[in-house]
Amino acid sequence: MSMLGTFVWLVAEAGAEASEEGGFGINPDILETNLVNLAIVAGLLFYFGRGFLGKILSDRRSSIEAAIREAEERKQQAAAALADEQQKLAQAQQEAARIRASADERAVATKAAILEQAERDIQRLRESVTQDLDTERSRAIAELRQRITTLALQKAEAELPSRLNDDVQRSIVDRSISMLGGAS
């Protein structure tokens, strides 16, 4: 006996015992239990639905494969775009570094030029101040000389009448004449 035969025989025996006792059991009549009907429906679905389901599954598989290909293409495009943008970023960073270095150089040169100009301005101011001081000193000295001369003349004029009497006047005149006579 085959395995299926043994199974059917066991089912039949269990069903006979259950029906004799009036309890629950398995009905071995296949037509009554609609197993044949179910098998026919399943067979028809498999026979006729195989093409339909196969087409649906094939279409689904194709759409999934197309979506995967598109995703791979987008991934490659994104990777290429990322590499391109990274290259642009590196170039921008290099340009920024170059601009920064150029700005630093210009700042150093400008600083040096400003310091040099400031030094020239300071030197010019010193010379101007020195010249102004020399001019002021010369003016002050000239003014002091003039005052001293004026004071000396005033003092001489004030003392001259008291010191210059007739004897002193004659002596001065005689000395002057002798100097003139001795000079000729």
Per-residue pLDDT tens for 46-97?
777 677 777 888 889 999 999 999 999 999 999 999 999 999 999 999 999 9
Q: Which domain holds residue 30?
A: 19-158
Residue 22 confidence (pLDDT) above 80: no
88 within domain boundaries? yes
Q: H or E element: which one contains 21?
A: helix 3-21
The pLDDT of 102-126, averaged and rounded, is 93
Q: Taking 60 as the threshold, does the pLDDT of residue 1 lie above it?
A: no
Tell me, yes or no, whether 38 lies in a domain: yes
User: Who's near 11: CB < 8 A, 6+ residues apart?
Assistant: 26, 28
- pLDDT, position 123: 93
Q: Which residues, 6+ apart, have CB-to-CB distance to 17 below 8 Å? A: 25
Instruction: Say if 66 falls within a structural domain.
Output: yes
Q: Is residue 59 part of a domain?
A: yes
What average pLDDT does the segment 132-153 reach?
91
In a domain, 55, yes or no: yes
pLDDT of residue 10: 65
pLDDT at 172: 82
Number of domains in the chain: 1
